[in-house]
Structure 1
């Protein structure tokens, strides 16, 4: 999904990936590996004793290896209903070397591609069937009802960030909370059959957060953002859904301030303006 990181990172991650393969008794496939953002993760196809699988390696500094991102996939495996389409987690191991901690996860192989392969932003209209959209709506409704004490978005963050990045004082009190995948963008969804990938950050968020995130990452393709609104209107076309959109826009405007997702900057400001006018 992302380009290979700087040499220091790749020289640390590649041997750790090989070590994970040895510990899990899998054989590396010849297919290219996939790097995550800034080399934080490294993934690739492997052959296990029970068939093809996907090995994912995560790096964190040792003092961060117990945070919610580290434990997300394991808790999703135990808490999410089987009706939610996701790769099943087969095995998991962790180890620490000096100040570096590693998490290796072995998943069932998902053979279908993600909707986007170059990051979360949608730039072209994908060919998504009505059945795909129905599956997505059902999955998000199912996820939203899962009880959890995990937190994906905190009220304290919204109190601080929404006025700062939206440029005006607004009521930041979340009108309703529900459980969310937490990172529902186009590079975490497969097609033509829906699978939802990357469960690191799931937890409680403003109701409608997942739908709002998918809509926001679709802003460069208006026909698809309209599809998102149409298929998920029961979530988005509500006061809570519009608030969730402002939450996601706040998060992405913050990434703009760090130099990321800059092509979305104009559409984000435009959509925020529309939502803020409607809320008056």
Structure 2
């Protein structure tokens, strides 16, 4: 597991699963000759994507960014259509750190699409139960409202089994919320109407988790947004804003989906200053 220390915060990437999605969908209107230079695809035009939560340990508390793709919840058809080759093994990742799911104090959800939220619950008897029973689960109010009342498009990714068992654990916010000193969830919209990002500042050290408005390192260009985005123009404007902030601070950008990098630091011109690569495995 890759680990890095940024100010008071220790970040560790857990194993949340891997899937393969269509590269064209992941890069929207960007032509393949451009995105293909930055992110490889297979013979089916699919690109490898992680769903790896980040354990953030600050001042003795354990926070989890996202929850992974889950385990034992997707049908055989969904596993095939979403290109899932490996489901979550967060329990085993935490065990290596002498922790369990019961040690997680809070789960910080940037949004509640299935590939981020399936790990919040697990099969139990004829239904489902919370995985992180002692955790508060933070998400924007807009996202929580749509999760429970999806529209004709979002019903394909907002599922009852992912929200009903954890409803009493959910804490919502409007524009932003301070989770602990220096760590904030900030509502941006864009990828979904309730999408949020995370910002951590500790002295001169900063990291930003842009979630799905910068899903991989190849999405650094502010105009490169997904076909999956509900509000792509909002994604463009929010990325433009937060890339400028991060460049000025020479901040680290962390990733949930990237199969090749865990984090990258850019200078004021957007050039790479430093990087943490993901340890690669062979899934074939």
TM-score (norm 2): 0.31
Q: Which has the higher strand share?
A: 2
Q: Which has the higher helix share?
A: 1
